[in-house]
Amino acid sequence: MATVSKVEGETRRRRKGKERGKNQERSRKQNSFLLEDDSEEIYFNPFQPSSPNSKKEGNTRRRRKGNERGANPVRSRQQNSFLLEDDSDKIHFNPFLHSPNSSSSSLYGSQIRTEVSKARWVEEIGMAEVIEKVNLGNERTEVSKARWVEEIGMAEVIEKKGSMWVTTGVIRNSKLYCHIEEIGYLAEIGALVLFDEGDNVMGLRDIYTKCANRKYGCSWESFKAYRHLKSLGYIVGRHDQPWSLKHNKINPNSGSTADTDLLAGRIEELQIDAANLIFDIHRPNSKFKKTDPGNPSFIIFLVGDRPPSRKEVGLEKKCKSVPLKFCHVSHDNVSFFSFPKVSLPVLP
């Protein structure tokens, strides 16, 4: 949802060449803010053959002259991407710019309808005349339908539309089912309508409530994590659940790989709650196949209200071949941490 505004933010902040020219004053101030005077000390260089009190060196150094900047293009790009951390400077939707009933609320970007067609009811003919027809490139004309099946805690997809089903939902015995977090995400973006067993439409509030109700293997936090990763284009599935199965089991134990076995073993050994391993993530991949997904790119471990314990962090260390990411979902933020072991080299 915030993808669009974030992209905008990044472009703005990258300050392309010509813009930099215009805003030299501001960029110098901004730069000096980042190289905040007292967080990075000016170190007098004792290795310089010139006078010992060459404090000037420090200032010149920090101005990072053109040719030096050129010498390290890779590094400065990395450094830049580092400094332009995606959520360090949130783009805030300004509610004062719109009236409450304004239809142009760009809070969620282009994934939710921002332009709406208008029609006027003509009682005489019992029809409405379309007065404003909005033709959107991304208009969701393809809305899938699914019916909730309480027995299995999932919905069966009864009308499949659009290409997103390649990376969403699980196949069991040739039928397509989806979990509540998948439903929640698709319903939010208007790609799916959920019906209950009595064929009544279930609104977002009901869907959200089901997400948070831990009965269905999801929680409000895991839903937020799911939504965050999905909206960035990742392929997200429940941990250790096969994407596709031919026989008629909904929650089978098969489909494990050597990696997940190792992980499961360590979890038991360390007495960690396995329920924390929530998702298997694959990087965005146009060739993804449910019948042969391959090993996940990483596995998400959802952490509670305190940072991961030493035991849990130890899990990452013990399962080096399985890339584990620890996920913290707070009220307004989803962040991921990793605790790789390092070994500082002995320097000459």
Residues at the interface with other proteins (CB under 8 A): 6, 34, 38-41, 43-47, 57-58, 61, 68, 71-72, 74-75, 78-79, 81-83, 85-86, 88, 228-229, 232-234, 283-284, 297-298, 305-307, 309-311, 313, 317, 320, 323, 325, 328, 330, 335-348
Closest contact distance (angstroms) between CB of 157 and other proteins is 26
> Is 205 or 341 the residue whose CB approaches other proteins more closely?
341
Closest contact distance (angstroms) between CB of 14 and other proteins is 13
**Cα(340)–Cα(260) distance, integer angstroms:** 19
DSSP secondary-structure letter at 308? P
Q: Which helix (H) or strand (E) holds 348?
A: none
Cβ–Cβ < 8 Å for 4, 109: yes
Q: In what order do the strands lie in the sheet with 154-159?
A: 201-202, 192-195, 144-149, 154-159, 175-178, 170-172, 244-245
Closest contact distance (angstroms) between CB of 343 and other proteins is 6
**Cα-based distances in Å from 119 to 44, 127, 130, 133, 318:** 72, 9, 4, 8, 62
> Is 58 or 162 the residue whose CB approaches other proteins more closely?
58
Closest contact distance (angstroms) between CB of 281 and other proteins is 8
What the block records as the tokens of 9 is 């933010």
Amino acid at 128: A
Closest contact distance (angstroms) between CB of 328 and other proteins is 6
> Is 22 or 63 the residue whose CB approaches other proteins more closely?
63
Alpha-carbon torsion 202, 204, 205, 211, what sign? positive
> Is 137 or 340 the residue whose CB approaches other proteins more closely?
340
Closest contact distance (angstroms) between CB of 26 and other proteins is 18
**Cα(102)–Cα(115) distance, integer angstroms:** 11
> Is 20 or 317 the residue whose CB approaches other proteins more closely?
317
Closest contact distance (angstroms) between CB of 39 and other proteins is 5
End-to-end CA distance of the chain: 50
> Is 184 or 308 the residue whose CB approaches other proteins more closely?
308
**Cα(230)–Cα(21) distance, integer angstroms:** 37
Closest contact distance (angstroms) between CB of 22 and other proteins is 25
Cβ–Cβ < 8 Å for 299, 324: yes
> Is 217 or 323 the residue whose CB approaches other proteins more closely?
323
Neighbours of 52 (CB within 10 A): 9
Q: Which residues pair with 148 in a beta bridge?
A: 155
> Is 193 or 334 the residue whose CB approaches other proteins more closely?
334
Which segments of 86-183 are extended strands (E)?
118-122, 127-132, 144-149, 154-159, 170-172, 175-178
